[in-house]
Chain A
């Protein structure tokens, strides 16, 4: 369903956010992306919804190359739950969820905020599924708690019946109980809708619990790819320890020994 072919991403300031990423995610898989802060997880996900283009290499979605011509069409198959929610503040919960279906409605309807009743029913259904109540509907999103906003974001993502769901740290800054609830929700939603999920996380325990498959990136490189069972505590420690080294400017250039070990462990 998703395929990366030796993808590199270099930002204009010289930051190498992705280096030689090759990856294939089959349809219906729940794939968790781990990696320390700044590893390139968000950049990896943004390749798939066209918010960022690879400097080198190619990205395929449902067998089609994501290019300038195809991106607008392919995007409709992809939904994103953003790291910072990215809801429109000062707009009601209802409109925020409905805006997830904007590509489907005409400009006239969109301009007048007159969404077809099928979409409105779907929005209600989704809001109910993510555990919001009818009194939230007319509130502005800025009047919701962080966890509630995240759920609005998830409801919005499912408005288009996406074939692919990108969830960028959907549970960062949420308390453990809500985190679990949200991940269960994503898991259930993707099962029900047969969605391929790429979900970045910071908690290895949660990754093991919910992922069908776990990959890890560090310094923009794919350093681990395996099943939840293969992600041992030792591997986790190495992964985050590598980050510590990098923060202190000790392993800026060459990949450290620990990384090669990680790759061996994964193989």
Chain B
């Protein structure tokens, strides 16, 4: 009896359960609805929906015409078949050695007929022009793969640069290892600045400084991703278990040795995971960064796109797509093994 009494001390309390929503929630909902309506109309969402619907209608035969569908069709037709081979006019090759053709290539005579008006007979006549061409059956594919290789190297060096930059930055940007307040703030703001500059923008300027090519590309990638790695590394240093660090500190081991023996072993698996993620991201970014002239496959893509060589563009896109898929598989496997 006594215990019962103790358990129900609050017998006189008045209970009531609120509804889950109130006027405030309604106001918030209206605000978001208005926001969506305004931004949606600015983004031309209705036109997008209408034209997409038209395109789909055209595909199943409901509509006579659709600008979207014709656009897609034209691109698809010009992309297919993909460009695999490469043909070069022999007369344009310097120091051409007929007896020593490059690997996997052969010569072909290609005749081209151009109709033109004979001024005497006033009839259309065909003039036959024959060119000797050097044909490399997988020449273009090899070229794209080579460019892809360069892209991967750019990503690799971008990541190496990022790691090298971010390790010292992270040590200074970790509150418990920064030598003083000023250096701490300096390191923090450098990291934020690095992160705030998009690769495509810094690459534009770096191309001006270093010229077209991979240098601008990997510098831009490295600087931007150092912003991420520095932040991640610093946070891990700050959150590492203090115990081992105190143990080393209490015998007077000094900051550097404490970091090396008390922190690094704790955070290493995380560091590897972050770095792999950044490498993965840099590879995807490296494929497009060439568009501003910073080397790699993007440069080739941009050039072919500007010349309307959509079959070449198709090959490039397929190679990018396959590379990203393969790397995804690879890094997922690597990560699961390291964890």
The answer to whether B253 touches A99, judged by C-beta atoms less than 8 angstroms apart, is: yes
Q: What is the CB-to-nearest-CB distance from B258 to chain A, in angstroms, rounded to a whole number?
A: 8
Question: Which residues 245-276 of B have a CB within 8 angstroms of A?
Answer: 246-254, 256-257, 260-262, 265-266, 268-269
Complex Cα gap A78–B248 (Å): 11
Is B244 positioned at the interface, with any CB of A under 8 Å from its CB? yes
CB of A86 within 8 A of CB of B266, answer: no
User: What residues of chain B lie closer than 8 Å to A51, measured between beta carbons?
Assistant: 246, 249-250
Task: Point out the residues of chain B lying under 8 angstroms from A84, CB to CB.
Answer: 243
Choose the segment among A69-77, A121-129, A218-226 that binds chain B (4+ C-beta atoms closer than 8 Å): A69-77
Name the distance in Å between B236's Cβ and chain A's nearest Cβ: 13
B243 touches A78 (CB 8 A): no
Which residue from A80, A103, A110, A111 sits with its C-beta under 8 Å from B247? A80
- B250 near A50 (CB under 8 angstroms)? yes
Bound form: Cα–Cα A79–B248 in Å: 10
How near does chain B come to A168, taking the closest CB pair, in angstroms?
A: 11
* A75 touching B251, Cβ below 8 Å: yes
Closest to B243 in A: A86
Please name all residues of chain A whose beta carbon is closer than 8 Å to the beta carbon of B261 when the two chains form the complex: 88, 91, 95, 99, 102, 110
Q: Which residues of B contact A243 (CB under 8 A)?
A: none
Report yes or no: A79 in contact with B244, Cβ–Cβ below 8 A: no
Q: Across the interface, which residues of A come within 8 angstroms of B265, CB to CB?
A: 88-91
Q: Kindly list chain B residues whose C-beta atoms are within 8 Å of the C-beta of A100.
A: 251
Closest A residue to B269 by beta carbon equals A90
Q: Which residues of B contact A103 (CB under 8 A)?
A: 251-254, 257
* Minimal beta-carbon separation of A18 from chain B (angstroms): 18
Min distance, Cβ A85 to any Cβ of chain B, angstroms: 7
Q: A88-B262, A89-B265, A90-B265 are in contact. Are A73 and B252 (CB under 8 A)?
A: yes
- Please encode chain A, from 76 to 114, with 1 for each CB lying within 8 Å of some chain B CB and 0 for all others: 101110101111111100010001101100010011000
| B242: nearest chain-A partner, CB-CB | A86
Cα–Cα, bound, A185→B130 (Å): 97
B-chain residues with CB within 8 Å of residue A80 when the two chains form the complex: 247, 250-251
Residue of A nearest to B241 (CB): A89
Given A107-B257, A110-B260, A110-B261, A78:B249 Cβ within 8 A: no
Q: Is the CB of B257 within 8 A of A87?
A: no
B244 CB contact (under 8 Å) in A76, A87, A160: A87
Residues of B within 8 A of A72 (CB): 252
In the assembled complex, the Cα of A88 lies from the Cα of B258 at a distance in Å of 10
Q: Which residues of B contact A85 (CB under 8 A)?
A: 243
Q: Which of A76, A90, A156 has the largest count of B CB atoms less than 10 A from its CB? A: A90
Q: Give chain A nearest CB distance to B334 CB in angstroms.
A: 19
What residue of chain B has the Cβ atom nearest to residue A110's Cβ?
Answer: B257
The 9 A-B residue pairs whose C-beta atoms are closest, nearest first, are: A75-B252, A86-B243, A86-B247, A49-B250, A102-B253, A88-B244, A91-B265, A99-B261, A90-B265
